[in-house]
Structure 1
Amino acid sequence: QTLKKPVLFTEFGLSSYHKGFEESHRDQLLKTMYGKIYESARKGGAGAGALVWEFVVEGMEEYGDDFAFVPWRFPSTYQLIVEQSCRLQTLFEGQPQVNKSLHAACSN
């Protein structure tokens, strides 16, 4: 029996303290997670979205942990986040819960 409830993948990330850490490793993790989630959503599966651990804004880094980062400081990472948001927005467009401001960001 299927519950037909969305699944939100939460609190995943990559520690910057990990030996040999590079930003490209975080990008690869995001590509993998986002790809699986998007394919699930596209096929009508349970995948609905993801919450990366941990986004912070400038000036708040000291309150984060070793997973914290400011997304827009890393253009390739930030682009992946925007692209995934836009891909999911396109799938769910027309549904009441879609954020109208996201539509503007995806139109660029």
Structure 2
Amino acid sequence: MGDEKMGIFKSSEQKQQEKNDRTEKFLKSHGITGLDPQTYSHVRELMSDNNWSAFDHIGAVFSDSTHRSIIDDLDMLTKQNWILMQQNSKIIEELQKNNK
């Protein structure tokens, strides 16, 4: 075995690249591209939260109409936040262009 790494062990660079790939895929699926580095970092922190994937699929857990309504409202607010994030990113980009 020596210095060779087994396939199940990944370097920190490989793990980092996988996180970046997941983040990019997620952002593209929400129509968001070209985020500034600070905002991108915040999105990655949010996505690395252990509760993120649970929230993303929580609707399947609740079946009664009251809970379903709450989940639908939360989903709508989440989508609105992604839209606002995209719009803010575009505004920042335009402001940076105008300040040059």
Report the TM-score, using the length of structure 1 for normalisation: 0.28
Give the alignment's TM-score, normalised by structure 2: 0.30
Q: Which has the higher helix share?
A: 2
Please say which structure displays the higher CA radius of gyration: 2
